[in-house]
Structure 1
């Protein structure tokens, strides 16, 4: 995956659980080269009309924490924008 800031990461899908609505993945290489990276994304149905999206990322070295957090924030904004747009499209 290539991010808008130019960072490139090579990801490995670790698990996809459709029933739990969860995906887990790891970054194995690219321009960031973390010593360790594991992340998961999961959707929880809080109510009939709303859901909660949880994205957890563990990374070392600590110096990659801030750059990865910025990329996660950017990803969250894109996901929200996409879902908001889909919610208002005529069916």
Structure 2
């Protein structure tokens, strides 16, 4: 079985990143907007529509609030085995690491999955960094 590991540094507090990861039905709006176009909940699963046209069904296996760890499995005709875990680890108050591990068969699909995870990491960094920035509002003009 191929194992793919990503250790992603994020410029956002662990609590904010975990909140986005744990929101299982909001990949497309909170965690990886642009990379994922839509997410629909279907019981304990989510149907994920990716920007590349792929749609997959991901089954929620575990969501551990204490460990900030989410586990899911992909159910697919192309993939005989796919299990993934995402864990958020604080790195100070304003930064964290997201450790993402995917175990997949057949081995031949591992390079594709690895590439998709790289693209997701870019989208995640962008979305979470933008949300972590303090918002400034222009002062109303006085006439």
Does TM, normalized by the shorter one, top 0.5?
A: yes
Gaps of 5+ in 2: 1-47, 137-143
Query: Which residue is 2:55 aligned to?
Result: 8
Shift of 1:58: 0.6
Gaps of 5+ in 1: none
Higher relative contact order (CA 8 A, sep 6+): 2
Q: Quick one: distance in 2 between partners of 1:47 and 1:56?
A: 22
Match of 1:65 among 100, 104, 110: 110
Q: Quick one: distance in 2 between partners of 1:66 and 1:2?
A: 20
Q: Quick one: distance in 2 between partners of 1:64 and 1:6?
A: 17
What is the CA deviation profile of residues 7-64 of structure 1, one whole-angstrom value per residue up to 9, with x for unaligned ones? Answer: 221110100001111100000126xx21100001110012233211111011000111
Shift of 1:69: 1.0
How many equivalent residue pairs? 89
Cα RMSD (Å) of the superposition?
Answer: 1.5
Query: Which residue is 1:23 aligned to?
Result: 70
